[in-house]
Chains A and B, each alone.
Chain A
Amino acid sequence: SQTIHQWPATLVQPVGSPLSLECTVEGTSNPNLYWYRQAAGRGLQLLFYSVGIGQISSEVPQNLSASRPQDRQFILSSKKLLLSDSGFYLCAWTGGVPINYGYTFGSGTRLTVV
């Protein structure tokens, strides 16, 4: 069966420090991968998505970046965190074109920038 792993679960980082969040999927190949951010009490904002290795689409220009070094690995990074980067970060995957399938989400990373 397919599983998705996201870590760390919580993170407290000072302003200006770097960030690296990792997401991996098991039990499938060539998944579509997504990074979402959720501000407190708000909906989900799509940040990046990837349909293949090295293919990254950015939805919101900001100081975050994403990379997909391997088929089932998706990494969210920042060189210098801002206070506004605080939030709940969620990774998700779907198999191929998501016409008939819902997304499977990881358990999320709570990031607090202080």
Chain B
Amino acid sequence: SQQGEEDPQALSIQEGENATMNCSYKTSINNLQWYRQNSGRGLVHLILIRSNEREKHSGRLRVTLDTSKKSSSLLITASRAADTASYFCATLTYRDDKIIFGKGTRLHILP
């Protein structure tokens, strides 16, 4: 069953601009994670935010979590061509020891 849903499905921005992607989920979570996937490659873990955290930073990445709205956002600042990839949110519920992925946002950074 689908737990996380990313929005938008696709996003194109100019290099140097900020990119924001959103994720909504349905049930209470233990944590929420964001992953990046370059075309034809495996996924790379970017950042994990726990349900009791509201914001987390890692380099040019900023993740927020609003458990009351069951939503999260991933902000990439000062985008670069190398940021072109698909970005997935994934949620871990309290019941399970597995994470469920959304369908992803395809980000394209224009030169």
A residues sitting closer than 8 Å to B (CB atoms) are 6, 32, 34, 36, 42-44, 46, 49, 51, 59, 88, 90, 92, 97-108, 110
Main secondary structure of the interface of B (DSSP, over half): strand
Against A, the Cβ 8 Å flags (1 = close, 0 = not) of B93-106 are: 00001111111100
Is there contact, CB below 8 Å, between A32 and B45? no
Distance between Cα atoms of A6 and B2 in the complex (Å): 26
B43 engages A103 (CB within 8 Å): yes
Asked whether A43 and B98 contact (CB < 8 A) given A90-B42, A102-B33, A107-B42, the answer is: no
Number of residues from B at the complex interface, CB < 8 A = 25
Q: Supply 16 A–B pairs (Cβ within 8 Å), ascending by A.
A: A6-B42, A32-B97, A43-B101, A43-B102, A43-B104, A44-B88, A44-B101, A51-B97, A88-B40, A97-B97, A98-B97, A98-B99, A99-B92, A100-B48, A100-B50, A105-B42
Task: Contact check, B40 vs A110: say whether CB atoms are below 8 A apart.
Answer: yes
Contact with A along B19-39 (1 / 0, CB 8 A): 000000000001101010000
